[in-house]
Structure 1
């Protein structure tokens, strides 16, 4: 007996494949999870956010696309998508930070105000690499006249680690 696509067993099986050693399997698992009927958008952002950390470029790119698409669903999911990507902006791996930055920049183009909050938080991170990533992302996400952001950039200019 084959389970239907809305069956929780399908989600469970696909979720377990996200840790597979094959990039193709992880990519397929991500795509299956995001297409499941009745899936929870907030949970989907958590899955896609985790995939921003993947070692494979194609999986990270699919995660970026997924987060950007999910951010258009509703306000609650848009916040969750920005939070998921923002958390990876502080990741130790440069590839994960770059993928997160791309997702945040594209969400900002859609008008997600939650993106700036995520980037601003990273400007105060303990890691100089994370602060530098956030600073490089600012021109893509900042809104004109944001005084708080201008003050944060001013603090970064005095940062000897950057």
Structure 2
């Protein structure tokens, strides 16, 4: 019993101490000179859909939920964001080669078709990020138009 009490006390102290160690937030208020809209046309409704379902993980600006203020959840959220941005960052899209841009657009289309994006762990908490059939169709049509535009240039 003594060992269990000491262990629990130690874990509690570590958890409390961890609350003071904060990672940098994924919030960059600066202008977005490399945003996808600088490469292809992003209509208002498409932008709104991307903002609500994709940008928290795939941009330089995340709307952090309340639970992300608690360690170690904050570390997990930031790790997830970092991995997502490595795959696709809408705010840095212009920095990619045209070939990579096309590849990323196709990857978005594929993940919409197979339902892997937005991921389930995100939509469980962010119910507004669940895409309707209309939104998926709208995004798919935008992707096709964007691919055509990129291939012409």
Classify the TM-score, shorter chain. Answer: under 0.3
Higher relative CO (Cα under 8 Å, sequence separation at least 6) belongs to 2
TM-score normalised to the size of structure 1? 0.25
TM-score normalised to the size of structure 2? 0.26
Computing the radius of gyration from Cα coordinates, the structure with the larger value is 2
